[in-house]
Amino acid sequence: MSTSDHATRRTEPLPFPAGFRVGAATASYQIEGAAAEDGRGVSIWDTFSHTPGKVRGGDTGDVACDSYHRYRDDAALLAELGLASYRFSISWPRIRPDGRGTVNQKGLDHYKAVVEALLERSIEPVATLYHWDLPQVVEDEGGWAARSTAEAFAEYAGIVAEALGDVVGKWITMNEPQVSANHGYRTGEHAPGLRDEVKAAAANHHLLLAHGLALEVLRGVLPGGTPVGITLDLHPVRPGADGIEELVAMVDAEQNGCYLEPVLHGRYPTAARPHMVPGAPVVRDGDLERIHAPIDFLGVNYYSPLYVRYGAWNALVGGEAPRPGHPGVVSYAPPGFERTAMGWLVDPEGLYELLHRLADERPGLPLYVTENGCAAEDYLATDGQVHDPERVKYLHLHLDACARAAADGVPLHGYFVWSLLDNFEWAWGFQKRFGIVFVDFSDRRRVVKDSARFVAQVAATGAVPPFPEHWPR
Ligand code: IFM
């Protein structure tokens, strides 16, 4: 059923299955600040954001939302909104400032305190072990292009699991390895800012290997039955013209398949171009078996689909963008779609279809939407509130897509909105606001937005309300 059919027919709330968890997500470098406190080492994002010209407006995560000090306030906000789970990430350089070697007890103590603050409020802590803040020392020794980084990551994962294994509800090894490999090592838009095809393909493999090695370690350390998974950013690829199935298959293989296939099937895709796919000697015997070891759930980050077609990029055509690494191929925004403040298409059917695709590809594997949300031009209104109708609509449509998929039998167990707070949006700095809670970056004050109230309503009722007759503007 399409969104519009669905919208016109549904007059009752659409319930999620019993036990469905609605939560919110953040990541360490994007919210914590306290960059030089309590023994934290330097990460690649400290270096990158302090390099002139890399991040819009020269923004850095030095202070960010100051959540390192305000985590109790953040936990109180989650509780006020009635959210069941909080997905946060652990900063590797806080735990091992040099990547390997000395363990920084203050770092572990901090995350213990965060977890306690959540548990006191009956909020499930969901910890991501890597959300892009690689210790700079490890990058200097080869970063994700080097196999030794995967081994160092597994050691770090074991240390964190020893310390927090009995209190964290679920573990996510990696967040969006595709972005780390491609933006960090291929296009250079993200830290460490390299543009090297060979290193990017190696990074692709070593990020996944790090997941596989960490999985082995976590299984040995965590109490039996503790769920462990990985989060992938997935982008349904669609044709922007007729007769280009081969191109669509290739882009899908490179964008999604290079991550999804090794994890779900223990192989790299054949439809991708050879230089995009890791091979020998980077891929060694036994690696793919490790990467493919059973996971307890798959985390899905979904924001929008990707339309592609052949053609030269014309900068004057809004919504078009060249595809890095694909000369003669452009991403394309078909007319008729709304777009977010990032310029990303609003298409909840992409999420609905993606969830079905995953359920078909690995029947029975529990799925969580570990990120979904949108940037909008939010501001504090004269009434002291933040009214964000675009985000309310975006979340309403996407939660509806989730509820429909779950009602069809897709094993979707939860949804985390990205993000709890406005935060450091990587190369965009603080200019792009994704939070359901507004952060005034002059004093770090938090203001609950209308969208947070909407998410709270969904969490409280366990159902997605019918669509309004007219979306508020
Ligand atoms: O802010 C990011 C997050 O860190 C990873 N997923 C996408 C979000 C929005 O760009």
- State which ligand 1 atom lies nearest to the alpha carbon of 423: 1
- Whether 470 is covered by a domain: the verdict is no
Contact 434, 423 (CB under 8 A): yes
- Half-sphere exposure of residue 320: CA atoms within 13 angstroms, side-chain side: 15
Q: How is residue 198 written in tokens?
A: 């060979």
Domain count for the chain: 1
160 CA distance to ligand 1 middle (Å): 23
Query: Residue ranges of the chain with pLDDT lower than 70?
Result: 1-8, 473
How far is Cα 229 from Cα 170, in angstroms, rounded to an integer?
8
258 CA distance to ligand 1 middle (Å): 19
> Which of 131, 371, 419, 420 has most ligand 1 atoms within 8 Å of its beta carbon, as the pocket-test mutant?
371
- Whether 473 is covered by a domain: the verdict is no
**Residue from 32, 139, 176, 390 carrying the catalytic annotation:** 176
- State which ligand 1 atom lies nearest to the alpha carbon of 426: 1
**Burial status of residue 377 (CB atoms within 10 A of its CB: 0-12, 13-18, 19 or more):** exposed
Q: Around Cβ 379, how many Cβ atoms within 10 Å?
A: 10
pLDDT at res. 35: 98
**Residue from 32, 261, 320, 371 carrying the catalytic annotation:** 371
How far is Cα 348 from Cα 46, in angstroms, rounded to an integer?
34
> Which of 425, 428, 431, 436 has most ligand 1 atoms within 8 Å of its beta carbon, as the pocket-test mutant?
425
CATH classification of the domain holding 100: 3.20.20.80
Sheet holding 237-239, edge to edge: 237-239, 306-310, 329-331, 321-322
Q: Around Cβ 167, how many Cβ atoms within 10 Å?
A: 14
> Which of 418, 423, 428 has most ligand 1 atoms within 8 Å of its beta carbon, as the pocket-test mutant?
418
145 CA distance to ligand 1 middle (Å): 22
**Cβ of 418 below 6 Å from ligand 1:** yes
Question: Sign (positive/negative) of CA torsion 324, 325, 327, 333?
Answer: negative
3-state secondary structure the chain: CCHHHHHHHCCCCEECCCCCEEEEECCHHHHCCCCCCCCCCCEHHHHHHCCCCCCHHHCCCCCCCCHHHHHHHHHHHHHHCCCCEEEEECCHHHHCCCCCCCCCHHHHHHHHHHHHHHHHCCCEEEEEEECCCCEHHHHHCCHHHCHHHHHHHHHHHHHHHHHHCCCCCEEEEEECHHHHHHHHHHCCCCCCCCCCHHHHHHHHHHHHHHHHHHHHHHHHHCCCCCCEEEEEECCCEEECCCCCHHHHHHHHHHHHHHHHHHHHHCCCCCCCCHHHCCCCCCCCCCHHHHHCCCCCEEEEECCCCEEEEECCCCCCCCCCEECCCCCCEEECCCCCCCECCCCCECCHHHHHHHHHHHHHHCCCCCEEEEECCCCECCCCCCCCCECCHHHHHHHHHHHHHHHHHHHHCCCEEEEEEECCECCCCHHHHHHCECCCEEEECCCCEEEEEHHHHHHHHHHHHCEECCCCCCCCC
**Cβ of 176 below 6 Å from ligand 1:** yes
pLDDT at res. 1: 40
- State which ligand 1 atom lies nearest to the alpha carbon of 373: 9
- Whether 221 is covered by a domain: the verdict is yes
Contact 339, 345 (CB under 8 A): yes
**Cβ of 371 below 6 Å from ligand 1:** yes
3 CA distance to ligand 1 middle (Å): 25
358 CA distance to ligand 1 middle (Å): 21
Residues 6+ apart with CB under 8 A from 216: 154, 290, 293
425 CA distance to ligand 1 middle (Å): 7
pLDDT at res. 2: 43
- Whether 371 is covered by a domain: the verdict is yes
Residues 6+ apart with CB under 8 A from 110: 38, 68, 94
- State which ligand 1 atom lies nearest to the alpha carbon of 30: 4
Contact 425, 431 (CB under 8 A): yes
- Whether 471 is covered by a domain: the verdict is no
- State which ligand 1 atom lies nearest to the alpha carbon of 27: 4
pLDDT at res. 7: 54
Q: Which residue has a Cα nearest atom 4 of ligand 1?
A: 27
Based on its alpha-carbon atoms, the radius of gyration of the chain, rounded to whole angstroms, reads 21
Q: Is the peptide bond before 192 cis (omega within 30 degrees of 0)?
A: yes
456 CA distance to ligand 1 middle (Å): 21
**Cβ of 301 below 6 Å from ligand 1:** yes
How far is Cα 207 from Cα 198, in angstroms, rounded to an integer?
14
The 10s digit of each residue's pLDDT in 289-319 is 999 999 999 999 999 999 999 988 877 777 7
- Whether 301 is covered by a domain: the verdict is yes
How far is Cα 279 from Cα 283, in angstroms, rounded to an integer?
5
Q: How is residue 288 written in tokens?
A: 């793919």
Q: Which residue has a Cα nearest atom 9 of ligand 1?
A: 425
- Whether 244 is covered by a domain: the verdict is yes
- Tell me, yes or no, if 120 is annotated catalytic: no
Could you tell me the residue range of the domain that residue 453 belongs to? 3-464
How far is Cα 34 from Cα 444, in angstroms, rounded to an integer?
13
pLDDT at res. 473: 67
pLDDT at res. 294: 98
- Whether 455 is covered by a domain: the verdict is yes
The 10s digit of each residue's pLDDT in 337-367 is 999 999 999 999 999 999 999 999 999 999 9
- Tell me, yes or no, if 371 is annotated catalytic: yes
